[in-house]
Structure 1
Amino acid sequence: MDNYFLAITLVIFASFFQGTFGLGMKYMAPLKWEAWWLVHAFVAMILVPMVWAFIAIPDLIGVISHTDSATLWLAAFYGFLWGIGGILFGVSVEKTGISITYGIVMGLAASMGSIIPLFQIEGAFEQPSFPIILVGVALLLVGVAITAVAGVQRDKLKAGASSNSKAIRMGVMIAVASGVLSAFLNIGFANAAPVAQSAVEQYGVGTQNASLASWVVVLLGAFAMNGGYAIFRLARNNSWNSFTVADSKKAYRWAILAGIFWFAALGVYGQGAALMGNLGPVIGWPILLGLALIISNIWGYRAGEWKDSGKSFKVLLGGLCVLIVAICILGYANY
């Protein structure tokens, strides 16, 4: 019982970081996107995970080297696929806007990132909580869809003009691909469970800290995509001098801070999910993303993004209420 409440508390805490790290993306200038992103990705996917994991698991290299190589490559590959989804997210935003893209990506990432690990569990259909999880995930999708509709209504009210329908259709298709691929971050974490298990059984590491070893493996693949793409953009645009542009200290600080917050979300979530047992990635992931969506909208409201938005703000509140109900149902599923 104590572990259960600690697990839920950790996931809730993680959602604060997940819903907050995106604030740093508003402060990229004067750095080019590729320069800012390379710094951010290195901090988020390599530096912080490695440092934290080595502190919690002194023999991290031994843990990883004693894990079956097929497991390691598969987990890293899933991280790489998530990286592709992240790049497609940016492309979709350019074509359809943040509200439509965020709604589609969050909905698909939360649902598929939960359902696929559930089906990978032996005897998933016999789990007593199986129907409760499905109801919770379905409600989560409804809540995300409502918040996306609210965002679209707000954007139309402020823009006062219709966008190119062909570009929007293409953007929606890209957003769907991004949402599907974004789910692989959690799928990779779930499939990297043997790494954490090795840390617990062979090296005496605590269950919570052992989850950090899983993230190190998954995020190596994620950085290969994100860092690789940023370097490609730097080379293609010949924008290497962006790193030394004047008045960039603030942008660097936000790149580092956003990176710390980004992995803090995953690291703390992983600890909470580990305490939940086999259903941790199934239940914890949609709770994390659902709460993060609520928190990000709170930050948006405080920043004035919903000022003079009319009825769309009431629609948003309705969507957030549905998300809260869905999160409560998912939390009960593992009670």
Structure 2
Amino acid sequence: MNEYTLAITLVVFASFFQGTFGLGMKNIAPLKWEAWWVIQSLVAMIIVPVAWALFVIPDLFEIIQQTENFTLFISAFYGLLWGIGGILFGISVEKTGISITYGIVMGLAASVGCIIPLFQIEGAFAQPSFPIIVCGVVLLLVGVTITAIAGVKRDQLKEQNSTANKSIKIGVLIAVASGILSAFLNVGFIKAGPVAKLAVEAYNTSTQNASLASWVVVLVGGFVMNGGYALFLLIKNNSWSSFKVKNSKKAYFWSVLTGVFWFSALGVYGQGAALMGDLGPVIGWPILLGLALIISNIWAYRAGEWKDAHKPFKILLTGLAVLIGAICLLGYANY
């Protein structure tokens, strides 16, 4: 297997985790949202990233200490911006369901998270693959739009009262904000590139594994926002007793598993993107999220979210077909 094939394989593998972790958000009860979220965030953004990075990079903390302070700050800051989007994502799922939220968030996060890094590359417009990438991103947005329309039409069939419709509209607005902010996770990963570069050049770490050091830095900012917000709610609502509620083992299990799956997606994606070279985050990011959207809808179908919604489901299939075409085009752009 050549390096590019391995890179694409890793990104595809990562998309399974990315498209699956959201299932855990349906298993929050009987815990309070803030209790479940603080556990999930701690596992996803601190425990798993640090443990995995230390396993392959024993000198992780020394590398971080030697990195320029501004690099650490700006990377963590983008992680913090993403953290706001992550909180909004969880709120939107509760209001609109997995399909609509994933459609809007993944589409905006994929396109914005691809375009910003592309324009930061010197001579981006002169890149031979530039027109192909732009076409791929536009096609991706078309596919996501069709998918989101399908989700809205599905919910209109299931929820006819005005209260539900109002809730859906609010959820869509929250998802839009989440999608834009979520793109900064990929930007932060790129900004943390010097951390990975130092690991490779000074500590003989493989390019693939060095990417994990970048995530550790970025996700510190992400946890400050996610964990901090959950802690704020625990104090505000005085919901500490939620940790002791009966029959909560299943909720605890899903909070941990969701955290593991969430960072598994990022960790594996980062390895694949690193192997692709400079255009890795530009090409790999929309492929990751596009495939994740397809996978999330497969899970939604299995969960019965599209039951008795035949016409919207046909629209969904059209959107997924467009997404597959966009992913193939983006994959070809870096071949």
TM bracket (short chain): over 0.9
Aligned residue in 2 for 1:190: 190
Distance in 2 separating the partners of 1:163 and 1:315: 25
Q: Any idea what the Cα deviations from partners look like across 1:278-327, whole Å, max 9, x if unmatched?
A: 01110000000000000011111112211111211111100000000000
Aligned residue in 2 for 1:240: 240
Aligned residue in 2 for 1:70: 70
Aligned residue in 1 for 2:128: 128
Aligned residue in 2 for 1:221: 221
Shift of 1:173: 4.1
Shift of 1:164: 7.2
Residue correspondence of structure 1 range 224-303 to structure 2 within 5 A: 224-303=224-303
Q: Which stretch shifts more, 90-99 or 295-304?
A: 90-99
Aligned residue in 2 for 1:41: 41
Residue 278 of structure 1 aligns to a residue whose secondary structure is coil
Shift of 1:261: 0.5
Contact 2:10 2:272 in 1 (8 A): yes
Distance in 2 separating the partners of 1:168 and 1:205: 47
Shift of 1:98: 5.2
Contact 1:48 1:260 in 2 (8 A): yes
Q: Which stretch shifts more, 81-90 or 131-140?
A: 81-90
Q: Any idea what the Cα deviations from partners look like across 1:60-119, whole Å, max 9, x if unmatched?
A: 011111111101100000000001112223444566665544332222111000000111
Distance in 1 separating the partners of 2:320 and 2:148: 11
Distance in 1 separating the partners of 2:164 and 2:60: 51
Contact 1:6 1:272 in 2 (8 A): yes
Distance in 1 separating the partners of 2:72 and 2:263: 20
Change (3 A) 1:297 1:172: closer
Aligned residue in 1 for 2:210: 210
Aligned residue in 1 for 2:314: 314
Over the matched positions of the two proteins, sequence identity in percent amounts to 74
Given residue 192 of structure 1, which amino acid in structure 2 is its aligned partner?
Answer: A
Shift of 1:144: 0.7
Given residue 80 of structure 1, which amino acid in structure 2 is its aligned partner?
Answer: L
Residue 47 of structure 1 aligns to a residue whose secondary structure is helix
Given residue 187 of structure 1, which amino acid in structure 2 is its aligned partner?
Answer: V
Distance in 1 separating the partners of 2:161 and 2:310: 17
CA RMSD of aligned residues (A): 1.7
Shift of 1:162: 4.4
Distance in 1 separating the partners of 2:211 and 2:93: 32
Given residue 138 of structure 1, which amino acid in structure 2 is its aligned partner?
Answer: V
Aligned residue in 2 for 1:109: 109
Q: Which stretch shifts more, 53-62 or 162-171?
A: 162-171
Distance in 2 separating the partners of 1:73 and 1:277: 24
Contact 2:103 2:293 in 1 (8 A): no
Given residue 102 of structure 2, which amino acid in structure 1 is its aligned partner?
Answer: Y
Structure 2 unaligned spans of 5+: none
Aligned residue in 1 for 2:138: 138
Structure 1 unaligned spans of 5+: none
Contact 2:76 2:219 in 1 (8 A): yes
Q: Any idea what the Cα deviations from partners look like across 1:171-191, whole Å, max 9, x if unmatched?
A: 544433222111000110011
Change (3 A) 1:27 1:141: same
Given residue 103 of structure 1, which amino acid in structure 2 is its aligned partner?
Answer: G
Change (3 A) 1:44 1:32: same
